[in-house]
Structure 1
Amino acid sequence: MPKINGNEIRPGNVLEHDGGLWAAVKVDHVKPGKGGAFAQVELKNLRDGRKLNERFRSADKVEQVRLDIKDQQFLYETDGMLTFMDTESFEQIELPADLLGERRPFLQDGMTAHIEYYGAEALSVQLPQKVVCQVVETEPVVKGQTAAKSFKPAVLDNGVRIMVPPFIAQDEKIVVHTETFEYSERA
Structure 2
Amino acid sequence: MVKVIASSVRKGNVLEVDGHLCTVLSAESFFPGKGTPTTQIDMRRIADGVKVTQRYKTTEQVERAYVEDRDFTYLYQDGEQFVFMNPETFDQINVSSDVVGDAAPYLQENMAVTLSMFEDRAVAIEMPQRAVLEVVETEPVTKGQTASSSYKPAILSNGVRTAVPPHIGVGTRIVVMTADGSYVERAKD
TM interval, short-chain normalised:
0.7 to 0.9
TM-superposed deviation, 1:50: 1.8
For residue 99 of structure 1, report the CA deviation from its aligned partner: 2.4
Instruction: Please tell me whether the aligned partners of residues 21 and 45 of structure 1 are also in contact (alpha carbons under 8 angstroms).
Output: no
> Equivalent residue for 1:185?
185
Structure 2: state its 5+ residue gaps.
none
The answer to whether the Cα contact below 8 Å between 1:11 and 1:27 also exists between their aligned partners in 2 is no
Question: Residues 92 and 169 (structure 1 numbering): CA distance in 2 closer, same or farther, change over 3 Å?
Answer: same
**Are the equivalent residues in 1 in contact too, given 2:147–2:166 (CA < 8 A)?**
no
- CA, structure 1 residues 146+10, in 2 after alignment: closer, same or farther (shift >3 Å)? same
Letter in 1 for 2:173: K
Cross-structure match for 2:168: 168
SS of the residue 1:100 aligns to:
helix
Instruction: Report if aligned partners of 1:40, 1:56 keep a CA contact under 8 Å in 2.
Output: yes
Quote the residue 1:17 is aligned against.
Answer: 17
Q: In structure 2, how many angstroms separate the alpha carbons of the residues matched to 1:181 and 1:161?
A: 8
Structure whose alpha-carbon radius of gyration is higher: 1
Q: Could you tell me which residue of structure 2 aligns to residue 42 of structure 1? A: 40
Displacement of 1:107 after TM fit? 0.6
Q: Secondary structure at the match of 1:105?
A: helix
Partners of 1:138 and 1:170 within 8 A in 2: yes
Residue matched to 1:130: 130
Please show how residues 103-142 of structure 1 align to structure 2 within 5 Å.
103-142=103-142
For 1:61 and 1:164, how far apart are their aligned partners in 2? 43
8 Å CA contact retained: 1:85, 1:93:
yes
Partners of 2:32 and 2:139 in 1: how far apart? 50
2:79 corresponding residue in structure 1: 79
Q: Which letter does structure 2 place at the counterpart of 1:25? A: A
8 Å contact 2:72–2:86 — kept in the other structure? Answer: yes
Aligned residues: 180
CA offsets, 1:45-72, max 9 Å, x none? 24236232334596x6543322211110
Query: Is the 2:6–2:56 contact (alpha carbons within 8 Å) kept by the matching residues of 1?
Result: no
Assess if the C-alpha contact under 8 Å between 2:7 and 2:29 holds in 1.
yes
Structure 1: distance between partners of 2:30 and 2:149: 36
Under a length normalisation based on structure 1, what TM-score does the superposition of the two structures give?
0.81
Q: 1:16 to 1:147 in 2, by over 3 A?
A: closer
Q: How does 1:137-148 map to 2 (within 5 A)?
A: 137-146=137-146, 148=148
Distance 2:75 2:122 in 1: 17
CA distance in 1, matches of 2:8, 2:108: 33
Greater CA deviation, 60-69 or 150-159? 60-69
